[in-house]
Amino acid sequence: MATLKDVARLAGVSVKTVSNVVNGYEFVKPDNRRRVEEALATTGYRPNIGARNLRRGRTGSLALVLPELSIPYFGEMAGLVLEAAQEHEWNVLIEQTLGTRERERATLAALGPHMIDAAIVSPEALHSRDFDELDPGIPVVMLGEHSVDVPIDHVGIDNVRAARVATQHLIDLGRRRIAAIGAHPYRGTATQRLEGYRSALTAAGLPVRHDLIVQALNYHRRDGAEAMAHLLSLPEPPDAVFCFNDLLAIGALRAAAEHGTRVPQQVAVVGFDNNEESAYSMPSLTTIAPDKAAIAHSAVDLIRRRIKGGQELDPEDVQTPFSLEIRESTR
Amino acid sequence: MATLKDVARLAGVSVKTVSNVVNGYEFVKPDNRRRVEEALATTGYRPNIGARNLRRGRTGSLALVLPELSIPYFGEMAGLVLEAAQEHEWNVLIEQTLGTRERERATLAALGPHMIDAAIVSPEALHSRDFDELDPGIPVVMLGEHSVDVPIDHVGIDNVRAARVATQHLIDLGRRRIAAIGAHPYRGTATQRLEGYRSALTAAGLPVRHDLIVQALNYHRRDGAEAMAHLLSLPEPPDAVFCFNDLLAIGALRAAAEHGTRVPQQVAVVGFDNNEESAYSMPSLTTIAPDKAAIAHSAVDLIRRRIKGGQELDPEDVQTPFSLEIRESTR
DNA sequence: GTGAAAGCGCTAACAG
DNA sequence: CTGTTAGCGCTTTCAC
């Protein structure tokens, strides 16, 4: 592997000149430039990024910390973050936490400032004090979950409002026994979505019935199926269900079908996330569609701002747009 | 940020001793060890991985190059590769190519030996000569697509056999007009799956009907839906369809439903990949289930072998197991 | 415009 | 067992 020195020797100039050429410095004698470029070509020189970063005091990499790539929402988000980061020539190092607090914390603590310039974290189970272990020198932006008591940049949609929109849609359909699947004891987003659901019901003069609010400790398809099976076994089953993510909703659709309950005629279903698969489920799924590309770009922009502006800037909370995608499951 | 030197000064020893302690070297005078460990703790020292790697001549990172994380198969595979790599303390840097040859080639060419120790590549559109641009010093293992004429390690399932199993399953069901969706002019896996499909038909004494073989230039749900709609509009529509991946099959299921064709009664459907969503589609999807964890682990193992053994070793082709997952779409 | 040389933080000969 | 030191490949003053 050719180094700067090799190229310099071959071109008969100093490393400085080669470095100048490589880095696009303007003022290089044309003659030298030509010789250097020739030498560059014949050696097939490629800069050692590690060495460059060591010298520059940066790494050129971002960490993206998320629960699991196999979960469609995170797979899609990761892809978009990769694209957004690439626009600024960042490499992205992905870390999975599998949604356990222990691994989220360990990952956060291991985020030394030497491997990465900054991190984008999508936490699922973190407590706010876990952030104490975080190296203060490295900028972090949080996605989704929002711990208000930690002064960290955040980007996401307004979960309360989105949940209200989803629930209102079911109310507008004339549904009156509207269930919710996905309540969770400490997940912040779950709490917010539950609040939006409640406030929509209350605003419409409908009762908030606790037997129609089903907890889900995980948000996988299986959990949605179980919750829906339970709801349909009730003496008075719901005529609509708001699921706190699409996977729960997909599971719910299957449970409804197995129970012989027709969607949307007997029970309407709304999801959250707009996973790609939700446009193709049977029936296709009405869902809250966050602008994921906007989330990815905002996250990368926040990082850039933080790297430039330092840790003194006030933490920012960027709210990205969302829409309600109406499909067969409520039509 | 504390450096080795800082710690050494604080502990009143040389950097060597600190380095020894940090790297778990055994023979350190207990007294010194204690002082160093104290200094380590009070400074909160963390090694600069970049510097260490520069010195050691390695990077501690793998690249994982794939088309798109939002495609379920790749999302799932990426998650498993991350886990497998982590067992050997590798970081994983993910690069998306969006399946275009241009970006696959560019990524391959940019894979300097300075950012990564090795790469796991899941190509979609590469030509064999694109591998010429690859730095010969960096080990690469290919996933899925298999360019026989390039001497590179490969891991994947036996596509021909898997396709034969899938097709045979449909034959065993008594189906006689079995279509295929997903033929592709230069995708190697498509060619292999088509071959397996053909050979199963031929072995059963069934004709290979070209009007029942549908090309798909992309492998998304939409493409499957289009292909299925076409097949169902035929004067003599098929009584079974073998789709070359699950996304195509999911699209096909939807097209069938929209056409009022019942699955599996009128047309049975088999997919390929066993995406998580396929267990929850309506109907759930019979599919070829590659052992994805085995693929991930084999890939990482091949890399380790190659890094130890050098580029002289003969390229290896690891075939990982698969099974046929029988679900409602053929029941 | 360009060269010489220092140094980013670390590891590993080499002495002792 | 531990200290000194060279050097990984690069960028960047500072002279010239």
Task: Express each pLDDT in B199-225 by its tens digit.
Answer: 999 999 999 999 999 999 999 999 999
**Chain B partners of A59 at a C-beta cutoff of 8 Å?**
50
pLDDT at A107: 76
B/e letters for A271-308, b = 16+ CB within 10 Å, e = fewer, are bbbbbbbbbbbbbbbbbbbbbbbbbbbbbbbbbeebee
Q: Determine which helix (DSSP H) or strand (DSSP E) holds B30, and give its type and residue range.
A: helix B30-43
CA/C1' separation A265–C1 (Å): 80
Least confident among B41-55, B123-137, B140-154: B123-137
Task: From the CA of B117 to the C1' of C14: give the distance in Å.
Answer: 30
Element (H, E) at B156: strand B153-156
User: Which secondary structure element, helix H or strand E, spans residue B94, and what is its range?
Assistant: strand B91-96
* Contacts (Cβ under 8 Å, ≥6 apart) of B330: B169, B170, B173, B240, B264, B268, B269, B270, B286
**Residue A45 DSSP SS3:** coil
Share of chain B above pLDDT 90, in %: 60
- A51 and B48: CB-CB below 8 Å? no
Element (H, E) at A107: helix A101-110
Distance CA A262, CA A256 (A): 7
d(CA B220, CA A204): 41
- pLDDT exceeds cutoff 90 at A275: yes
Strand C lies under 7 A from the Cβ of residue A15:
yes
Task: Tell me how close the Cα of A203 comes to any Cα of chain B, in angstroms.
Answer: 35
Q: Which residue in A194, A240, A238 sits closest to A215, CA to CA?
A: A194
Per the CB < 8 A criterion, the answer to whether A190 and A183 are in contact is: yes
CB proximity B34–strand D (7 Å threshold): no
Mean pLDDT of B303-327: 90
Tokens of A304: 């850039």
pLDDT at A113: 64
Give the residue range(s) of CATH 1.10.260.40 domains in chain B: 4-47
At A112 the pLDDT is 64
Q: Which amino acid is at B165?
A: V
- Yes or no: say if B155 and B322 are a contact pair by the CB < 8 Å rule: no
Q: In which residue ranges of chain B is CATH 3.40.50.2300 found?
A: 59-156+292-321, 159-290
Asked if omega into B235 is within 30° of 0 (cis), the reply is no
Model pLDDT, residue B126? 65
Is the CB atom of residue B20 positioned under 7 angstroms from any atom of strand D?
yes
Q: Domain B59-156+292-321 belongs to what architecture? A: 3-Layer(aba) Sandwich (3.40)
Residues B249 and B219 sit within 8 Å (Cβ to Cβ): no
CB atoms B49 and A277 under 8 Å: no
Radius of gyration of chain B measured on its C-alpha atoms: 26
pLDDT surpasses 90 at B145: no
Q: Give the whole-angstrom CA distance, residue A52 versus residue A67.
A: 32
Q: Does at least one atom of strand C sit less than 7 Å from the CB of B54?
A: yes
B14 CA from C16 C1′ (Å) = 14
- Are A201 and A207 spatial neighbours (Cβ–Cβ below 8 Å)? yes
* DSSP-assigned letter for residue B142: E
pLDDT tens per residue, range B161-190: 999 999 999 999 999 999 999 999 988 899
d(CA B296, CA B85): 9
Pick B169 or B38 by higher pLDDT: B169
- Chain A residues with beta carbon closer than 8 angstroms to that of B95: 82
How does residue B312 score in pLDDT terms, banded at 50, 70 and 90?
Answer: confident
**Distance between CA atoms of residues A170 and A197, nearest Å:** 10
Per-residue DSSP letter, A134: S
Lowest-confidence segment of A36-50, A70-84, A272-286, B100-114 by average pLDDT: B100-114
Cα separation of B57 and A110, whole Å?
Answer: 22
Say which CATH architecture domain A4-47 belongs to: Orthogonal Bundle (1.10)
Query: Is pLDDT above 90 for B109?
Result: no
Q: What is the pTM of this model?
A: 0.90
Of A76, A83, A254, the CB nearest to B282: A254
A268 forms bridges with which residues in the sheet? A240
Name the protein residue, with chain letter, whose CA is nearest the C1' of D8: B55
Query: Nearest Cα to A137, choosing from B115, B2, B10?
Result: B2
Cross-strand pairs, A243: A181
CA A51 / C1′ D8 distance in Å = 8
pLDDT band for A42, please (50, 70, 90 cuts).
confident
Q: Contact A282/B46, CB-based, under 8 Å?
A: no
CA distance B164 to chain A (A): 28
pLDDT greater than 90 at residue B96: yes
Sheet containing B322-325: which strands, arranged edge to edge?
B213-215, B178-183, B240-243, B268-272, B286-290, B322-325
Let me know: does B273 contact B210? Beta carbons within 8 Å. Answer: no
Fold of A159-290: Rossmann fold (3.40.50)
CB contact under 8 A, B221 and A69: no
Q: Is the CB of B59 under 7 A from strand D?
A: no
User: What is the tens place of the pLDDT at every residue in A187-243?
Assistant: 889 999 999 999 999 999 999 999 999 999 999 999 999 999 999 999 999 999 999
